[in-house]
Chains A and B, each alone.
Chain A
């Protein structure tokens, strides 16, 4: 079964740090981009970051640049999100998702998230 399982969510004080993990199984992890998406309580989805297959390309949304770092260990089929200097507005449910892409001749590939984990909760509060 193709599966992603997040862990590491917790209650942390403002300014603190947290490391989320996402364990993959059932597919060739090293062949896929992977993304992090978050959802604040009662709010919509916010794309946070993604990372390419070998970890050489990473992209972030502006509010987390310089504070969050996405990384992966293909040998362990695992994705990580190191979150530093956490703020109250980082409080959210965090999902990892397989970022599938379809190549298009002569154009950029299509990316879409076709497998999602169940998520993990991060609460930033004093």
Chain B
């Protein structure tokens, strides 16, 4: 199985900051990489698929990049509603493993 490792596990940021979360795969997943946002008590929501494609309806302050084994999710101009936990997921092969999550907290 492909292992996905996110860093950091948590971070503190202020409204208006730019935040970057990284995700590393244990082997190449090409660009078969998705990012999800989950708020407490809610189901996850897809933000980015195919490493850099923005899902319809997701604000343009979210962006993704990377290929192979190393990926990043960036959030520019952090908004109050962006404080949540973010997960990467590879869709290159089954099982479609997730990273352990990165919690973005208010500083």
Give me the interface of A with B, judged by CB distance under 8 Å: 35, 37, 44-47, 50, 59-62, 95, 97, 102, 107-108, 110-114, 116-119
A-B contact sample (8 more), CB < 8 A, given A110-B91, A113-B44: A47-B95, A47-B97, A47-B98, A97-B44, A102-B49, A108-B32, A108-B92, A110-B49
Out of A45, A50, A60, A107, name the residue touching B44 (CB < 8 Å).
Answer: A45
Give chain B's interface residue range (CB within 8 Å of chain A): 20 to 34
B38: interface (CB < 8 Å): yes
Inter-subunit contact A114/B97 (CB<8 Å): no
Please name all residues of chain A whose beta carbon is closer than 8 Å to the beta carbon of B101 when the two chains form the complex. 44-45
Which residue of B is nearest A46, CB measured? B98
B46: interface (CB < 8 Å): yes
Interface centre among B34, B38, B96 (most CB of A within 10 A): B96
Give me the interface of B with A, judged by CB distance under 8 Å: 1, 30, 32, 34, 36, 38, 43-46, 49-50, 53, 55, 87, 89, 91-92, 94-101
